[in-house]
Amino acid sequence: KLAEEGMLTIDFAKLSQNLLYACYQSTNGEERLRKLYEYLIWKMCGGVKMTDVFAFGPEPLPGTAEFMENWHAYLSHTPGDRAAELLADACIYLGGEEKLRITAAETVDMHPCLYIIYCQRRMEAEDWMDCVSVGQTAVETIHVNKEIRGKIAEIAFQAAEHLNDYDRMKLFGKAIFFSKPDCAGLLRLYRLGDIKLIEDAGKRLEEITAEPFMANRGYFNREQRETNIPDQKQKAVYRFMLGDFEYGWEISRTDDKYLGWSGSFKELFVMLALVLLKKPDGNMARADEKILGTLQYRLRFDDCCGCSFETALLAWRNGYLLSEKQKEDCLNWLQREIDKRTEA
């Protein structure tokens, strides 16, 4: 308590490594594996790995090679994000990145995040080809509803960009939206310029609505098991942005509330409709900066798309199909809505 209140300074990293070092020396076999893991999932031991413990003590610990083989086997069958982090450390100790790659394939159902660790290391080494290859294996193996599949695809997409591999970029772009649907992923599909991707994304959205995938979200197993199921409002926004203009317009026309600061779907539709109805002159005018800023905030867009929000939104506008009649009818409706708001 004194440490938490800042009245006493404790080096928890050093304290935890002393504890683990002593535990290793005082236990053997299955008990050693179990007790060490129990300690390593403590908050105090967060970030500490067994290789840190090996390097910590005043003298080398005995039997570390055999222990790490058993540790690897133990963690391979232990669920949880922390277990996966410790398993990756064991892989690197035993056989480097090749051992990590093999273990990722062997434990993909239990520890899919090993693929993230492997692909990140390949990206840091600028080995784009291997990152793309292993990333594709992960995408084809991991359940489509697991959000971690989309995170792996995001890393592999960057590697595919370095290689100018357009086919793989499409594959990973599709996987990103399918497994972690969000605005950035949706706009990325438009930037790729393939109408088939947009059509497939629309079908995927219907599947998510009909059959949500429920996964175990235990405290120590969050990242690897978490799913990204959009709520009803998000689904409506994505459905409209994926080309179902009539659907978005129908929701907005039946909303009789004045435009304001309610955060409604109608307000989002109006801003996006204004973007769609602008003449495609290549750029957004300075007068549109407020709308762009509001849209970026409301759509929760971040820079993981690899470009500015304006660039991504322009790709969406230029790829969106609207008939002349839809444009005319929507423009008249927008004018009436703006007039009502002005009069109010």
Q: Report percent pLDDT > 70 for the chain.
A: 87
- Whether residue 105 is predicted with pLDDT greater than 70 in this model: the reply is yes
* Least confident among 16-20, 73-77, 135-139, 172-176: 16-20
Place of tokens 């007068």: 287
* Cα–Cα distance, 213 to 205 (Å, whole number): 13
* Cα–Cα distance, 76 to 84 (Å, whole number): 8
Please give the pLDDT value at position 57.
Answer: 77
- Whether residue 306 is predicted with pLDDT greater than 80 in this model: the reply is no
Please give the pLDDT value at position 9.
Answer: 56
- Whether residue 217 is predicted with pLDDT greater than 80 in this model: the reply is no
Q: Between 146 and 216, name the one with better pLDDT.
A: 146
Helices (H), the chain: 12-26, 29-40, 50-54, 64-76, 81-106, 113-124, 128-141, 147-162, 166-179, 183-192, 195-210, 222-225, 232-241, 245-253, 265-277, 289-298, 309-319, 324-343
* Least confident among 71-75, 139-143, 221-225: 221-225
Please compute the mean of the pLDDT values over residues 71-77 and round it to a whole number.
98
Please give the pLDDT value at position 190.
Answer: 95
The pair phi, psi for residue 34, each rounded to 5°, is: -65, -45
Please give the pLDDT value at position 218.
Answer: 45
- Whether residue 304 is predicted with pLDDT greater than 60 in this model: the reply is no
Instruction: Categorize the per-residue pLDDT at 229 as very low, low, confident or very high, splitting at 50, 70 and 90.
Output: confident
8-state DSSP, 10 = -
Contact partners, residue 261, CB within 8 Å, separation at least 6: none
Please compute the mean of the pLDDT values over residues 16-20 and round it to a whole number.
92
pLDDT digits (tens, 9 = 90+) for 283-293: 566 557 888 88
Please give the pLDDT value at position 303.
Answer: 59
Please compute the mean of the pLDDT values over residues 137-146 and round it to a whole number.
96
Please give the pLDDT value at position 48.
Answer: 94
- Whether residue 199 is predicted with pLDDT greater than 90 in this model: the reply is yes
Please give the pLDDT value at position 340.
Answer: 82
**pTM (two decimals):** 0.86
pLDDT digits (tens, 9 = 90+) for 232-283: 889 999 999 999 999 999 999 888 887 765 678 998 999 999 999 886 665 5
3-class secondary-structure state, position 146:
strand
Please give the pLDDT value at position 212.
Answer: 45
